């Protein structure tokens, strides 16, 4: 299967992770993010330029381009040329599926050769040595899972054994997200469960682990005065203090908070 021409029309969207990552975005920003994800996937996750992102997002105003810039800077990775963007998770997903179907295609080819009507004792499919063949797919999935953990506590070898036993058909990114969510709830990391123990107890099935990470609301202050969000209009966030005085802050530009008269 050719990496250059291979396209997977179905894009897997892990809803719990996506919801946690985009909970702070408004509907317009989420829509643009989804457009860019789909665009990147249809291009086999190859790098794309900022101008292409503007075009696929149908930007006709400076405000729209500001939103696209916000999404690119937060969720995508800028290349060494400082002009092109890629998405780390999409690239990893595409590589995983490409490798998976390559192995499946090769296995089918060998099976077809062995069952061919013309097959003889001299033309059977070659059998690799040693036997049995190690499950490289499981090992690579575990290595990906382990690399994504923010706290690698306990024996990696024992964790790999438990992973192969209980998470063989699971997505490594999804399982690592669940462990990272659990780890974020433990303030004293000394009491954090070993990764092998966490998997062995199937704590990745816990309801608490499946909940999105709560992102705290941003704190706004003006000259030491704490402000609350009253609403949004256009590209601005409207703020108010305890005395009812109004303020505003631009949503995308890093400009200071302004007090309104």
Strand residues in the chain grouped as ranges (E): 48-49, 77-78, 84-86, 220-222, 225-233, 236-240, 246-250, 258-259
Give the CA distances from residue 72 to residues 25, 54, 87, 98, 244, in Å, rounded to whole numbers and listed in that order.
13, 11, 9, 25, 36
Residue-level pLDDT at 146: 93
For the chain, what percent of residues have pLDDT higher than 70? 81
Interval 58-114: pLDDT, tens: 888 988 999 999 998 888 988 888 888 888 887 887 888 888 878 887 777 776 655
Identify the three-state secondary structure at position 210.
helix
20 compared with 71, residue with greater pLDDT: 71
Q: Is the predicted pLDDT of residue 195 greater than 90, yes or no?
A: yes
d(CA 245, CA 58): 38
Identify the three-state secondary structure at position 15.
helix
Residue-level pLDDT at 113: 59
159 compared with 233, residue with greater pLDDT: 159
């Amino acid at each position: 299967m050719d990496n250059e021409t291979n396209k997977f029309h179905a894009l897997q969207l892990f809803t719990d992770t996506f919801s946690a990552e985009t909970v702070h975005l408004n509907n317009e920003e989420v829509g643009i993010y989804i457009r860019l994800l789909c665009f990147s996937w249809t291009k086999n996750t190859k790098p794309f330029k900022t101008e292409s992102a503007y075009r696929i997002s149908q930007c006709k105003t400076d405000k729209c381009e500001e939103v696209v810039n916000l999404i690119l800077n937060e969720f995508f990775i800028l290349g060494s040329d400082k002009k092109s963007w890629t998405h780390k998770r999409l690239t990893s997903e595409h590589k995983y599926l490409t490798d998976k179907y390559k192995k499946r295609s090769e296995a089918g080819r060998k099976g077809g050769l062995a069952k061919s009507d013309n097959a003889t004792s001299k033309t059977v499919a070659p059998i690799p040595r040693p036997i049995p063949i190690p499950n490289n797919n499981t090992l690579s999935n575990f290595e990906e899972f382990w690399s994504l953990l923010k706290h690698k506590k306990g024996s990696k070898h024992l964790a790999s054994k438990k992973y192969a036993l209980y998470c063989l058909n699971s997505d490594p990114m999804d399982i690592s997200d669940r462990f990272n969510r659990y780890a974020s709830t433990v303030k004293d990391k000394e009491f954090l469960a070993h990764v092998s123990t966490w998997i062995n107890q199937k704590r990745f099935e816990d309801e608490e682990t499946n909940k999105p990470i709560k992102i705290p609301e941003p704190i706004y202050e003006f000259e030491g005065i704490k402000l609350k969000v009253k609403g949004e209009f256009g590209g601005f966030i409207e703020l108010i203090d305890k005395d009812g005085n109004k303020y505003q802050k631009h949503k995308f530009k890093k400009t200071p908070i302004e007090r309104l008269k």
